[in-house]
Structure 1
């Protein structure tokens, strides 16, 4: 019998900070071509930070998600659109009920192509709305990504009631509905 080898699935990684990472996993999970979404920490100066360290605002890390996707099924610009429509890109102080540097938004690019596509998408959002105030989300080079503790992974599935209360109570749900879900 002949062995047949399956061609390796091509994957790419996208990394985003969008406030509380619990709220940044679910938006990506529902799309075909998204293979994995991991909550974690990036952009700081302390190796292997814990949640408590990051929350102390002393490590320089952002709460972030790392999205592994198949670019033959879903493109990086499509992944960027999911990101933009999950945040308030005009808030420089955090996201919704979460304030501080660990909750700021950012796009972390893994290649020059991602950087260019992110810059184009940011310019498009700035010029075409839905916001009249400046888009403050920075586009930064990817840094080491540290997966968060296991209890943070897929939080929206493991703790659905708490997640849903938080999603609404933080103000995120209403904001996204008002700004992105029109028409």
Structure 2
């Protein structure tokens, strides 16, 4: 192979590597708990600028917890998500505003039909800057509602990815056995969300400001 060709290939490889590094540098992560993580994942994957959402567990002390362990309520973990976003397209502040208006911020005992600390809401932050921003957004939500928001701002802890069968549950065409019979996960999710009363409550609480409830 000629020297010029080798140099050309090296330059191409370097360009792709640099592009990947720049793309990675642009990405940021927002970690929140908003009740059933299937619902939060479904909501935020529809937002322009969000590159992906992962369901998981955080806030507790157990290492590599399972859904069965977390759902028992004795690990201290929340059902949570990590939202991977490009801040050049959508800001952390905007996502926090949307998050607070996608949950019942007046309910400290869980969310909608899902009860217990596992399903409570929370915003997880790293450092003073993220904490101050979250508190500012919460204060704005309190002013809009005229009531105290009970969603806490907590220091970030290790995030454990949930089992594969939880990821993208809301749009999966795989069939599962449910109380509705054998149905696709996507259909089971829609029935669960409607039956749980999530969007009805959000419309009652936030009205037209509920960013995702209007679509259901």
Which of 136, 159, 163 is matched with 2:189 structurally?
163
Q: Which runs of 4+ in 1 moved over 6 A?
A: none
Structure 1 residues 37-56: aligned runs within 5 Å: 37-56=53-72
Structure 1: segments with no counterpart, 5+ residues: none
Cα deviation for residue 112 of structure 1 reads 2.3
Larger radius of gyration: 2
Structure 1 residues 62-101: aligned runs within 5 Å: 62-101=78-117
Tell me the equivalent position of 1:104: 120
Q: Deviations over 1:85-117 (max 9, x none)?
A: 210011010000000010110000123222111
Q: Deviations over 1:6-61 (max 9, x none)?
A: 26121111000011111110111111211110000001111000000001111000
Tell me the equivalent position of 1:139: 153
Does residue 152 of structure 1 match 2:166? yes
Higher relative contact order (CA 8 A, sep 6+): 1
TM-score scaled by length of structure 2 = 0.80
Structure-2 separation of matches of 1:134 and 1:152: 32
Tell me the equivalent position of 2:43: 27
Tell me the equivalent position of 1:60: 76
Question: What secondary structure does 2:75 align onto?
Answer: coil
Structure 2: segments with no counterpart, 5+ residues: 1-7, 173-184, 210-216
TM-score scaled by length of structure 1 = 0.94
Cα deviation for residue 133 of structure 1 reads 3.5
Question: What secondary structure does 1:8 align onto?
Answer: helix
Structure-1 separation of matches of 2:166 and 2:87: 26
Which of 15, 22, 31 is matched with 2:31 structurally?
15
Question: What secondary structure does 1:59 align onto?
Answer: coil
Tell me the equivalent position of 2:205: 179
RMSD across aligned positions (CA) = 1.4
